[in-house]
Structure 1
C-alpha cells in the first residue's frame, strides 16, 4: 500500500517538474540569446541603456500580443491590429496636434475609438459568421486607407510634451523599487491563493519546494530588472504599461469565468456551446478587448516616435502573432498564456536589438525571425501529437 502511495507521489512530482520544464523552455532560450549577444557585442548588449531601449522596443508588440493570445486561444486571428495601431496613433496625433486637445482626453477618446472598432469587427465575426481572417484582413486594408485619408498621406507631428511622455518617460527610481516589491508580493499572494483554492476543491498541489523556488526566481528576475533600469533612468513608462496590462489580462485569463470560457471555446467549440456558453457574446468581447489594446499600442508608438506616420504599425500584426506563438500559444486554439506571449515578444525584440547592434543585414533579421516562428509552430504540433499518442 505504501509502495503505491509513493509511486503516485513520484508521478505527481514528475508531472509538476515536466510542466515547469515546458513552461520555462522559452526563458532558457531567451537567456541563451542574451548570453550570445552579450559575448558577440563585448558586453554592450546588457548595458542598462541598451536594455532600456530593448524594453521600449518590445512594448508595442507586447501590448498587441496580450490581446492576440486570447483571440488565438478562442480559435480566431486578427490581421488588422497593425493597421489599427497606425490609425489610432494618427487619430490621437490629429486630436492632440491639430485640435490641441489635452493628452488625457486624447488617450481616453482614442482607446474608446479602438473599442468601437473592435465592436464592429467582433459583430461581423460573432453575429454574421464571417471568418475572422476575412473580417480582419478587410479591416487591415480599411484602417490603412482611412489613415491615409485623414492624414492626407503626411506625417503628423507637433505633439505636446504630455503626450510624448507616455512613450519616452521613465518611472522615478524610488517608485521602481516600490513597484518591484509590490510585484513580488502580488505574485506570492496569487500563488498562495492558488494553492489554497486547489486544496479546497481536492486538486493536486505542486510541491511546496517548487512554489518557493518560483517565488525566489521571480524575485531575482524582478529586482534584477528594477536595478538594471534604475542604473540608467528608471523603468520606461511603456514597459510599465505592459506589465500592468499583463497582470490584468493574466488575471482575466486564469481567474475569471470569462477567461475559462474562452479557453473552453478554443478547446472544443461544440462542447462549449452545449455547456451553455454564449459563444457569440464572448467572441464579440474578444475583439473589443483586442482592438482596445491595439489603440493603447498606437498611443505608445506615436508617443515614442513623436509623430504619426502613414506607415506606422506596418507588419505589427505579424510580430504580435509571432510573439504569441513563440510564447506557447497554439494556433489550433485552447492553449496559451499572457506571460508566454510577453516572453515571446522579448525574444523577438532581443533578436532585433542584438542583430542591429551587431550590424547584421536586415534581410537576415527577417530570415531568423521567420525560422524561429516556423520552429515554434512545429514544436506545438509535435507536442500535441505526442500528447494524443500518450
Structure 2
C-alpha cells in the first residue's frame, strides 16, 4: 500500500485545523512576551539579556522531556513516566560505570566502560517505554494509568539500586564530561545544544514528514486513521520509545552534570512537561498542538516561576501559580477557538 493510500488527503477541515493551531501558537507567543514584560516591571533586574538566556538554559531538561510528551499528547496519549525514567537512567549510568571493587555497596558498581554504561542505561530507559507501549497498545489500558504505574516502577528500581540515597563515588574521570562540556568557548553547555537540536528535528518531523502527519491523524480520529491503513499500534510504540529515549538521555546528562545517581532526581518533571505542553496549546484530547507552542509554554512557566522567586513567594505559591496558569491556558484556548470559528 502506498503512502498516499495510507494517509488521507488534506481536507478543508485539516487545513483549518492547522490554521487554528498556528493561531493558538501565536497567542501563546504573545502571552509569553506579555508575561515577561509584566515580570520585568514587577521584579528588579528581570529585564536582562542573561536572564532571558537563563529562562531557556535552566529549563533544558523539562523542555527536552516536553518534546516526547507533546508528540504523545497530540496522538491522544499521556506519558507521566518520564520523571521516573530520568531518575532510573541516571542511576543506572552511575551503577554501570562504578568500579567493581568499592569500599561499600553504594560505591560498588559493574565496572563497565563509560560509553557502554550509558548505552546500557539508555536501553534500560527505553525498556520502560516498551512497557508503556505494551500495556497501552496490546492490552488497551488507559495511558494515564499505565504511565503513572511505570513512573513508580522506574523510580522504585532507582531507589533500590541507590538504597534510597545516591551513588556518587568510585566513578571514572570521564563520567562528568558530557554534562559539563561547554560548547565553542561559550557558557552554553552541551545539554542545551542537544535540546535545541532536538526541537529543530521535532519541528521538522511534525511539519514535514509522514510520521508527523500520522501522529495528528491518530490523535484526531484513531478509528479513521486505522481504517485508512495507519498501523496505530506500531506508531504509538515508536512514540513511547522516542519519549523514553529522550528521558533516558536527560537522566544520563543530569547524572553526568552532578556526577551522581540520585533516585529522587526528576521528581515532578513529568508534571512540568505536561504543564508546558498544555500551556503551549496542545489539546489534552489529542490531534492538536505543536512543539513550538510547547517551547513557548515552557517560557511562560519559566517566567512565572522565576518571577515568583524574584518576588520571594514561597514554593507553595509557586505551585498555585502553575495551577492557575494551566487553568487559564485551557480556558483561553477554548474561548479563542470558539470565537474564531463562530
Is the TM-score greater than 0.5? yes
Q: Distance in 2 between matches of 1:303 and 1:356?
A: 27
Match of 2:197 among 229, 244, 248: 244
After TM superposition, list the pairs within 5 Å mapping 1:154-303 onto structure 2: 154-158=165-169, 159-160=171-172, 162-173=174-185, 233-303=186-256
State the Cα distance separating 1:153 from its structure 2 match.
0.9
Mapping of 1:73-222 within 5 angstroms?
A: 73-97=74-98, 98-158=109-169, 159-160=171-172, 162-173=174-185
The residue that corresponds to 2:309 in the other structure is 356
Larger radius of gyration: 1
In 2, Cα distance between equivalents of 1:359 and 1:305: 27
Question: Quick check: 1:324–1:344 contact (8 Å CA) kept in 2?
Answer: yes
* 1:205 match: none
Give the deviation of 1:267 after TM superposition: 0.5
Q: Deviations for 1:243-269, whole angstroms, at most 9, x for unmatched residues?
A: 111111222222221211110010011
TM-score normalised according to structure 1 size? 0.74
User: 1:63 Cα shift?
Assistant: 1.0
Distance across 2 between alignment mates of 1:330 and 1:167: 33
User: What is the CA RMSD across the aligned residues, in angstroms?
Assistant: 2.4
Change in Cα spacing, 1:44 to 1:381, as seen in structure 2 (3 Å) is closer
Quote the Cα distance in structure 2 between the aligned partners of 1:75 and 1:18: 18
Secondary structure of 2:177 counterpart: helix
- Report deviation, 1:300: 2.7
Sort the Cα spacing of 1:56 and 1:308 in 2 relative to 1 into closer, same or farther, 3 A.
Answer: farther
- Which residue matches 1:36? 38
CA deviation digits over 1:42-97, x for unaligned, max 9? 3255252x455433321110111000011001111111111111111111122233
- Cα–Cα, structure 1 residues 262 and 349, in superposed 2: closer, same or farther, change >3 Å? same
Q: Give the Å deviation of 1:289.
A: 0.8
1:317-364: CA deviation from partner (whole Å, max 9, x where unpaired): 110000111111110110111111122122222322332233221111
CA distance 1:131–1:381, shift in 2 (3 Å)? same
Tell me, yes or no, if the aligned pair for 1:34 and 1:350 is still in contact at 8 Å. yes
Which runs of 5 or more residues in structure 1 are unaligned?
Answer: 1-14, 174-232
Change (3 A) 1:81 1:357: same
Which residue of structure 2 aligns with residue 185 of structure 1?
none
Partner of 1:66: 67
More helix by share: 1
By how many angstroms is 1:286 displaced? 1.2
How far 1:130 sits from its partner (Å)? 1.4
Contact 1:253 1:260 in 2 (8 A): yes
Per-residue CA deviation, residues 259-316 of structure 1 (Å, 9 max, x unaligned), is 1111001001111111111111111111111111111121233233332222111111
Q: Distance in 2 between matches of 1:119 and 1:315?
A: 22
Count of paired positions:
315
In the TM superposition, residue 100 of structure 1 has moved relative to its aligned partner by: 4.7
Distance 1:165 1:351, change over 3 A: farther
Gaps of 5+ in 2: 1-16, 99-108
The answer (yes or no) to whether the contact 1:81–1:317 under 8 Å persists in 2 is yes
CA–CA distance in structure 2, aligned partners of residues 288 and 102 of structure 1: 25
Change (3 A) 1:18 1:290: closer
Q: Report the secondary structure of 1:313's partner residue.
A: coil
SS at 1:171's partner residue? Answer: coil
